[in-house]
Amino acid sequence: EVIEREIEGMLGLRERREKDSDLYKIANEVFDRTTKETLAYLHRRGKIEALYGVISTGKEANVFAGVDAEGNRIAVKIYRTYTTEFRRIWEYLAADPRVGYLPKDMRKLVFVWTRREFKNLQRAIKYAVRVPEPVIFRNNVLVMEFIGDELPAPRIKDVERSLEPSDFEELYDFTMGVIERLWKRGDMVHGDLSEYNILLHEGPVVIDWSQATVKRNRMSVELLRRDLRNVINYFGRKGVDVDDFDDKFRELVGV
Ligand code: ATP
Ligand code: MN
């Protein structure tokens, strides 16, 4: 079939031996018909010339390294259209005042989830938070700027053993600055801000905006509390002279 061949071309699978690659195995396991059609569409539009590596496999999404038709490196986050996280996704979306109609069908719900992450990236940029530049989304596929050189940039967690106390201090200030700027100026909260979702590439870059939302969301204060707690606990353990949780929380929420 045409689409199958197009996908194989994108994955560089013209040679048979490459069918043993991780890339092929994961693609084969998670690319359903919709995903293949979506990738083929993005391919025809020059947004994805090729996918050449698996950066990460998760419960909800897989992230691939790729290149667009102009030779720019891209990261492609592909949400699973079948996910055990359906309930959580539904609850998060239902609480977001920006999201109108909620599809009953899981596949379409995941499309809404993908679009929301794209919008969150755009919104975060507006408030001067360094994130991967969003390029395009369609259905369950999100294309964004690749953060890294040859290899994807490491997360704070990956390199924490080689960081100095002063690095942790700077990263703490950065992260707390992001929380405050998003909340105060952007009316927004990331919701999963941690050493796992900050990449280090010529400075810190915040990723994974799928659960981010706006202040008007009834869950936003809870998400803010979670971010503050995680960040204060982590950097506190690393020896940083961190803020007091209650003080910070009160300062931001005003109670
Ligand atoms: P979930 O937290 O729901 O499982 P996830 O963690 O799988 O989502 P992300 O955190 O967005 O999804 O991405 C997974 C990993 O892929 C990241 O930890 C990071 O290593 C890598 N990654 C994500 N986006 C980029 C990017 N733009 N450039 C380079 N690497 C990236
Ligand atoms: Mn993540």
Q: How many whole angstroms from 1 Cα to the centroid of ligand 1?
A: 31
Instruction: Name the architecture of domain 156-253.
Output: Orthogonal Bundle (1.10)
Instruction: Name the architecture of domain 2-145.
Output: 2-Layer Sandwich (3.30)
Domain assignments of the chain as residue spans, ordered by start? 2-145, 156-253
Strands of the 141-145 sheet, one edge to the other: 50-57, 61-67, 73-79, 141-145, 134-138
Give the residue, out of 52, 63, 193, with the most ligand 1 atoms within 8 A of its beta carbon, to mutate for a pocket test. 63
Ligand 1 pocket, 55 CB below 6 A? Answer: yes
Q: How many whole angstroms from 33 Cα to the centroid of ligand 1?
A: 23
Please give the ipTM for the structure prediction.
0.96
Write out the residues surrounding ion ligand 2, Cβ under 5 A: 197, 208
Q: Does residue 227 carry a catalytic annotation?
A: no
Q: Does residue 68 carry a catalytic annotation?
A: no
What phi and psi, each to the nearest 5 degrees, are found at residue 60? Answer: -100, -35
Sign of CA dihedral 176, 178, 179, 181: positive
Instruction: Give the relative orientation of helices 33-44 and 2-10 as an angle to the nearest 10 degrees.
Output: 70
Q: What is the pLDDT of residues 169-204, one digit of tens each?
A: 999 999 999 999 999 999 999 999 999 999 999 999
Q: What is the pLDDT of residues 81-123, one digit of tens each?
A: 987 888 999 999 999 999 999 999 999 999 999 999 999 999 9
Smallest Cα–Cα separation from 80: which of 49, 43, 38, 118? Answer: 38
